[in-house]
Amino acid sequence: MNRHPFFKSALLWVLAAALCPTAATARDLSFQERLAAEERIQRVYYSHQVGTSLPFEQVVPRDVLEKRVSNYLKESAALRRFWGVAVTAEDLRREMLRMSSSTHLPARLEELYAALGHDSFLVQECLARPALVDRWARSFFSSDPRLEERRWDEWWTSAAPGLPADSVRAVAKETAPLPVPFARTQDAWTNSGPQAATATNGGACVPDDLWRSGDLGHVPYPRSHHTAVWTGSLMIVWGGQGNLTFFNTGGRYDPIADSWTPTTTSGAPAARWYHTAVWTGAEMIVWGGGLSAFFSSTNTGGRYDPSADSWVATSTVANVPAGREYHTAIWAGTEMIVWGGTNSTNGYITWLKTAIATMPMPRHTPGRPRCAMALMMTATGRWTRV
């Protein structure tokens, strides 16, 4: 029997399989491809940033982008190493669906889709994965009895260097359809899909006039007397107190993805309340406030960079104002102007003195003494008396 035709056919099939990619071949992403996608994502966020005058490359330099990509890959590796959890294609698909159905800014989510070429694979791996693995890693960490005495920032600083970012492979399916962003402010979900929401009296709800709790995955601990600033893309909440516990923690809320990310406590100012916070276009400046229930005033603060998730202390030399609470602060384009407030020592309120020539009309809580003081903090971090 002549078997040569069979062997020739088999040989041709093997050669074709070796030379031509098959439909079953999984698509992967190199670190550089993920880095390029991250840059496109951050450029969309930066295009909506309020008050910015600096070029994107200065506010979000390459090392910050590399750290962001490395961080979510290391969190993916941490899930597997410490808690035996592997992120699957279905997990990424569901996170992509959650974002599209929970977003408060559907038009901006569409901008992110466009920046990623409407590529469902990239959306899952480079937009959905970072949000998902950060939420899961922090959740597993907080419920792990082995780590109950440690804080996330301290633990992650020691654990991250030993986690191989290059061990994480892409798992998303290219065939997963890209969902259309759905504005929940105008509709409500039912078992059969989005339907027009109705009020309790049977009438239609007014579009964009509804309250929702949002994603409570990493919402900051309940608090009062905190501050919040809007960057144009994110709301940053920081400080305050709850049940006489004072916080130097906070969170960044992203209405595009309807998700919270904690602000780092590494290098953060001391816990406080009755402080102020302003947005400069690139940083949040926190300053002043009381450090305890006994109104121990402080003249310290910090400059928080949400792109790098990092803090730098404000200057405490050369014209720094006296410590105070209940003051006001605004950003004037190149400097922060601080005015008024109260100063306290050993639990007793004392009032700041100032010259009365050309000063504004006195004001404070009715029935209390009045005070005024005006100083400026420039973009260079220096204080100037005015």
Q: What is the pLDDT of residue 175?
A: 93
Percent of the residues in the chain that have a pLDDT greater than 70, as a whole number: 73
pLDDT value of position 318: 79
**pLDDT given at position 218:** 75
205 pLDDT higher than 60: no
Report the DSSP beta bridge partners of residue 246. Answer: 241
pLDDT at 217: 63
Q: Please give the pLDDT value at position 337.
A: 92
Q: Where do the domains of the chain lie?
A: 27-167, 217-386
Question: 207 pLDDT band (50/70/90 cuts)?
Answer: very low
Mean pLDDT within 324-335: 93
Mean pLDDT of 118-125: 98
Residue 301 pLDDT greater than 50, yes or no: yes
110 vs 350 pLDDT, higher one: 110
pLDDT of residue 382: 61
Contact 83, 144 (CB under 8 A): yes
Top pLDDT among 132 and 365 is at 132
Distance from C-alpha of 239 to C-alpha of 251, rounded to nearest angstrom: 10
Residues 76-107 pLDDT 10s: 999 999 999 999 999 999 999 999 999 999 99
Look at domain 217-386 and name its CATH class: mainly beta
Mean pLDDT, the chain, whole residue set: 82
For 370-375, which contacts have Cβ atoms below 8 Å and span 24 or more sequence positions? 371/340, 371/341, 371/342, 372/339, 372/340, 373/321, 373/322, 373/324, 373/327, 373/338, 373/339, 373/340, 373/341, 374/337, 374/338, 374/339, 375/319, 375/321, 375/337, 375/338, 375/339
Asked if pLDDT for residue 311 goes beyond 90, the answer is: yes
Does residue 16 register a pLDDT over 60?
no
